[in-house]
Structure 1
Amino acid sequence: MNFKRKIISCIVIWGVIIGSLLSYSPDTHVLSAGGVPEISIIAPPEESVFDASAVEVTGTITDDDTPPESLLVKVFDQQSAAQQPREITNEGTLTIKPNGPSADFTYVKNDFSVGNHTVSIIVTDKDGISSSPIERTFTVNQSGSEETTGTEIGAENQAADTGQTSTTTESSTSQLSIVTGVLAADTLGKRPYLAKMYLIPIDASEEYVPDGDVPSSYLPVEDMTRVPLDYKILLDIRSTEPLIDIKTQPLFTSFGDITGVERLVKTAALSNDLKSYVYSFTPDKDFLPRTTYNVYLNPKFSTVSQIPIIPRFLKFTTVSKYEEYQFPADKGDTSTNYRDNDYVHGPFSVVTNACSYCHSTHNGTNEFLINGKKGENENDMCMACHDGTGSPKIEDNSQHSKHFESTSVSCSSCHDPHTPGTKDNPNSIHRMASGNGPLYSYKKAGTAAGISMDFSLCFSCHNGSKAKNIEKYYTDGTFKSQSGHNIQATIDSGSSLNGQLPCADCHETHGAANLNMLRTELGNEKLQGEKPKTDQLDDNWFSKTDGDWDIDSQRKFCLSCHNGQTVLYGETGKAIYDKETGISLTTTVEHNRKSTTACSECHSDSKSFIDTAHGPKRITP
């Protein structure tokens, strides 16, 4: 019986095999094998040169069998042929975003050392099969350190990740003298600039040492909130030439209603003939509580040979009247680095009565027990105090915020009301990865390097998930390489920008008088006099409250900076046409006062103004 069963089994098995072979057809059967993961790098270009220690690598990864989210990506760095590659994956931020069958990846590391680097990336799939490593070589210059001390600018100062070839100093000279009409090329490297600016206790000026450790009582100015009312300002201005006497030209051109005494505290010699001039500004009276101050450097402040300072604009907000505190701990001490008397926003374990400002145990109007007496929603709750009555006033304007028009966006989309403010996070911004990752970032002119992670707070929505995809202009290699807003700050600008313009250069954080939260004053100088009429195209003021981006509107916006006067990051916005004659100053005949061509017609492949505004395509004559 066993023998018969074996015979029958063999006949069945061979019958199945023979039947399969006879019925096979290439039209109905596909033979497949597991694929090998592939990776490509889009940016930066090979042999790029960076004058900032922050470098962003972008590209795509693909695998036939493994979903992008299941791929393992590792990043290695090798600084010389004699060294072994060292894994740096966890030293930076790696982001992988599925895009159909492939995925886009971004790797950002903010502290690459000075010198040559060969970064290699390897992808491994679920079966342990790895791609061949793909490499990208670049160089970080000495000026990539925290303080810029160089005094010369040359071919290496071109935007490394734009794909442009290097230019000589002579060609840079020609461009500056003809295009801007403002500063001669021999001023490059000689312009004074603001290197550091702090809010400090009234008697703490002498503690400052240029390029030294910063006292824990010092607060950064840019977007600082809850500043003590009795603080003053300290400025570190760098220059290769002696500076003009502050009695002749003051440091500030606008500071609200604040007046005070300016004093040269000390000077310090740095490398390459560069000197640090440390000034203090002591207000005649204490700052007002819950008030936002806009601080503009005087654009006429200059060296003794009349080379003007590079303009800068910063703002900070003071504490509410009942809050009289300072940061008690050094930066980074998370155990004690909070404001002890931050009564409204914690620490709640000590000040539980603060909860009742927003929540009502028995009369709450929703699942969060929000106190309905202050409004119907969360934003009403915040504005009950942030109208200036109990807390700093959020800008009041006709286009307060596009965010308020959305039912899916609220104040807590960006801010965590239950997180006490710290020196590192004064605005209580959320953390990434459900509260366990690094802070979302919203950097501005003084701190931005121009990489996408600098603006991760904006891109948490503006990546196509909840709002228009603006992130692509900062991560897509094509947009970045062709963008005229991809800028490398000049050596003497005091900025480490080497990438796309920060969002805040055009947009107000919480809203503006214009649509799309666009600023009225573009640039870093305080505009004087009355706002011009809307039909004037060649002034810095910008005004647009409604309507489409027609030809006239596009030109008004772009010419607010591209006027031969507005200075950003040491670069002067290219003048399009002569203000007196209206004749084009470029090789393109349409660049004249009466042009009927929209900016997006030439500066965007898609003819879209949103592309033009965020990544304007360069036009090569």
Structure 2
Amino acid sequence: MKKRGLLHKMKMQVLVVLVLCIYMVGFQQIFFITSVNSEEVTGTEPKITITSPKSGDNSNVTNLTISGTVENISTGVPIVFYDGTEQIGTTSEVIENRWTIPVTLSEGIHTISAKTEVGGNSISSNSIDLTIDSTPPTITFVNPNNGDYLNSRNLEGTTEPSAAVKICMDCTEDAEGQVAGTWMTVTADSSGKWMYQDPQLTEGSHTVYAKATDGSGNNGNINKVTFTLDTLRPLVLPDIFPKQDMTQVSLNPTIRVKISDANALDENVIDNSINLSHNGINDEGTISYNRVTKEITFTPLNPLSPSTKYNVFISPLGIIDAAKNGAFPRFWSFTTSSITSETHQNPHGSYANNVNTCGNCHNTHAAKDPNLLSPKTSTGSGQEEILAADNYCMACHDGTVAPLPENRLNTHTHNAAVKIDGKPSGSSCASCHNPHLDWSERNPNLTQDHITYMHLPSNPVDPNKPTEEISSKEQLCESCHENDSAEKIANPAVDYRVFQYNKSSTATGIYEDYELCLRCHNGDFKKKYDKTADIASFYNNLTEEIKKQYEIINGQSSFSKREISAEEKDFSGHIIKAQDGSPLAGHIPCTECHDTHGSNNIKNLKESLGHEDVQSFNATDTDIKIVKVSIDSKEREFNILSDDKEREFCLACHNGTTAIYGVKGQKYDATLDEHKGYPNKACSYCHGRGESEVEKALSASHAPKKGLVPTP
């Protein structure tokens, strides 16, 4: 009885201690201790883990070893391995809780797992996905194929997805097929496509080697192709016929162009190469091609119309070389003869046979002009004065007897009627053309001509004799040589010159190429006739003398082949080197921005700008701003393009896509701080030079400079 009482007493004491513990420690802490003990118990459960290979691994061998660990599994218990549901092996050798087993797997994707039994319970491991790939990857070239012509520096091909592709360009290969050189690596995408680009790859023949290593480590065999890199577009040579602006062209002409390209042309498209049109109508004809000389000829099916201007367009769609490079486009025009005679040389008739022809422009008794030109007349309605002599010109040059000057009927025309000395003339036509000249291939448009002679100092000195080069446009020879002028003019030292107005197929970019315009638009002429702008000063850094001296040192025609110097680029951003086969290596011609006879735009600006990606441009009388400038203490008003319209004009070419002579205008970068700081200013605000907005506008349009923000 005493023992039972003692036991009861002890139970009561334990119960009291437990209650005190709960009170002092808290129920949650007691529960935590209990939970920990429970986890320690569950941690003794058996477990199998595959540690190698890792899930997702690739292997290029079929015989491999799988390894892993066990926990709480007795030694000697068999572990069974499966590939999916297929048993592939068993092991009971577990050393220090680690096991390994060799297996043989086929090509493809496998799902590996392990199982065992402990106390009647099935224990499974983690599963791994394993790819067996022992096949070396193949590599192919999509572009180029062997023997191809390639017009880009991008090589493309295919191999296994995500494989590493190694490229060796123009490496050496020995007799055993070992390739030595520098290997570059690119990675194929998830579909197996790869691309390699070498910006420094030169024109000509190349051999490229390629090999691939796949994700399983298999190294493929080397593949190679030989190809020719040709990124150069075919060029239309300047030697064209009929020549640019040629007149008196036969009514049955053969249009000829020669192509320069290192490779053969695609003769399947050659029929699309030359397009002839007039007044917006295409003229049909047959095209032939001489693959030896690379000359293309176009023969009209029907005789051409007399006194008609025809336009020739050389299309890139019809001149394509073996590398699929399209030629640079070329445009020019010619005018047919007014009569069918092939020997007719004077479009204005024979003065010797019909003296009344002179009376078309001259009035012997009524004219007040020293040259007996008919006087000016006026409409009396505030419109521009009409020149009577020009009316006589237009009586024939109306498209019936003689061709109508291009754009002559447009809103704005070139109607300056001045002589070389700045005095008024009776004809704006005669300001640029000499109607008395005989037609010649050298001067088909009867452009104004003159003779020059370098007078040497006399001994003894004659104060009345000039000692510098004299032009007949400034001083007639007859003013001093009344009786012997013919003999003097025949002197070989006398140089006969035509004021040039060269364009794309003839202009080299020197001052004299545009002398027909610059003979009036210069500083000296401005002093005599202040309505004329001085544009010549933007072109005088490149002259015929400079060209001549350069070619004495570097050889004939070397001037057009030279690279533009940094000094030339600083002088004018409009000095470029043509890439389309034209001889231009200097100032861009006036005709790239201005239409000769007239335009619907102010200042005779062209309505279409560029040779490729041609842009339309429109500027009416509402697109001007009036600028007041003080000249010799007198305030004068000048009209220039508004800021918005000037930007529009400049950006028509400076957009990164429009090109002239194969040269794209530098793209306007709106992110530059200078451009962001002056978003509404005219381009000439920073790219022009001068004291006034007028001078800056002239400078920026004819010889833009590197951007310079003016000091406030």
Aligned residue number for residue 267 of structure 1 = 291
Structure 1 pair 373–326 and aligned structure 2 pair: CA distance change class (3 A) = farther
Residue-by-residue CA offset, 1:233-291 (whole Å, 9 max, x unaligned)? 111111123223354761145623132234233123xxxxxxx4211111122222222
Match of 2:577 among 465, 488, 502: 488
Counterpart residue type for residue 310 of structure 2: Y
Cα offsets for 1:427-472 (capped at 9, x unmatched): 1122232166311111111111111011111111011214211111
2:9 matched residue in structure 1: none
SS at match of 2:396: coil
Structure with higher Rg: it is 2
Indicate the SS of the match to 2:570.
helix
- Aligned ranges 1:389-538 → 2 under 5 Å: 389-394=400-405, 395=407, 396-403=409-416, 408=424, 410-432=428-450, 433-434=471-472, 437-464=496-523, 465=525, 466=529, 467-476=532-541, 481-490=570-579, 493-525=580-612
Supply the distance in 2 between the matched residues of 1:380 and 1:480 (Cα, whole angstroms).
Answer: 44
Displacement of 1:325: 2.7
Q: Which residue of 1 aligns with 2:352?
A: 349
- CA gap 1:604/1:426 in 2 versus in 1, 3 angstroms: same
Aligned pair partner of 1:384 in 382, 395, 409 = 395
- Give the Cα–Cα distance (whole angstroms) in 2 for the partners of residues 519 and 246 of structure 1: 36
SS at match of 1:437: strand
Task: State how far apart, in whole Å, the 2-side matches of 1:502 and 1:290 are.
Answer: 26
State the 1:553 CA deviation.
Answer: 0.7
* Alignment correspondent of 1:596: 680
Cross-structure match for 2:57: none
Read off the aligned partner of 2:660 and give its amino acid letter.
L
Measured in 1, the distance between the counterparts of 2:705 and 2:201 equals 20
- What are the equivalent positions in structure 2 for 1:248-259 lying under 5 Å apart? 250-252=272-274, 255-256=277-278, 257-259=281-283
Confirm whether residue 616 of structure 1 aligns to residue 679 of structure 2.
no
Q: Aligned-pair distance for 1:407?
A: 7.9
Instruction: Determine if the alignment matches structure 1 residue 286 to structure 2 residue 303.
Output: yes
For the structure 1 residues 596 and 343, does the alpha-carbon distance in structure 2 shift closer, same or farther, using more than 3 Å as the test?
A: closer
The 3-state SS of whatever aligns with 1:295 is: strand
* Letter aligned with residue 570 of structure 2: S
Task: Summarize the Cα distance change of 1:192–1:588 in structure 2 as closer, same or farther, 3 Å threshold.
Answer: farther
Distance, in Å, in 1 between the alignment partners of 2:310 and 2:410 is 17
**Quick check: 2:374–2:389 contact (8 Å CA) kept in 1?**
no
In 1: Cα distance, 2:648 partner to 2:590 partner: 19
* Cα offsets for 1:504-525 (capped at 9, x unmatched): 1111121212111111111235
Superposition map of 1:121-270 within 5 A? 190-199=232-241, 220-245=242-267, 247=269, 250-252=272-274, 255-256=277-278, 257-268=281-292
Aligned partners of 2:510, 2:201: CA distance in 1, in Å? 25
TM-score normalised by structure 2 residue count = 0.48
Q: Distance in 1 between matches of 2:286 and 2:259?
A: 13
Uncovered stretches (5+) of structure 1, i.e. residues with no partner: 1-150, 152-168, 174-185, 200-219, 269-275, 328-338, 528-539, 578-583
Does 1:544 pair with 2:619? yes
- Secondary structure at 1:543 match in 2: coil
What residue is the counterpart of 1:40 in the other structure? none
Structure 2: tracts of 5 or more residues without a match: 1-150, 152-197, 203-227, 378-385, 451-470, 474-494, 543-566, 626-640
**2:294 counterpart (270, 273, 277):** 277
Give the structure, 1 or 2, with the largest relative contact order (CA under 8 Å, sep 6 or more): 1
Specify the code of the residue in structure 1 equivalent to 2:689.
D
* Residues 267 and 605 of structure 1: CA distance in aligned 2, closer, same or farther (over 3 Å): same
Identical residues among aligned pairs (%): 32
Q: Distance in 1 between matches of 2:603 and 2:613?
A: 21
Query: Aligned in 2, Cα 1:463/1:170: closer, same or farther, shift over 3 Å?
Result: farther
Letter in 2 for 1:225: T
User: Offset of 1:559 from its aligned partner?
Assistant: 1.7
Query: Which digits, 9 at most, give the CA deviation of each residue in 1:31-59, with x for residues without a partner?
Result: xxxxxxxxxxxxxxxxxxxxxxxxxxxxx
- Post-superposition Cα deviations, 1:291-349, rounded to whole Å, max 9, x if no partner, equal 212222223332243312112111111122xx22335xxxxxxxxxxx35x352x4422
1:617 deviates by 1.1
Provide the secondary structure at the position in 2 that maps to 1:590. helix
CA RMSD of aligned residues (A): 3.6
SS in 2 for 1:475: coil
* Alignment check: 8 A CA contact 1:299 1:525 kept: no
Give the 3-state SS of the residue equivalent to 2:257 in structure 1. strand
After superposition, give the CA deviation of every residue in 1:492-540 in whole Å (9 maximum; x if it has no partner): x21221111111111112121211111111123595xxxxxxxxxxxx0
Instruction: Give me the whole-angstrom Cα distance separating, in 1, the residues matched to 2:620 and 2:308.
Output: 26
TM-score, structure 1 as length reference: 0.54
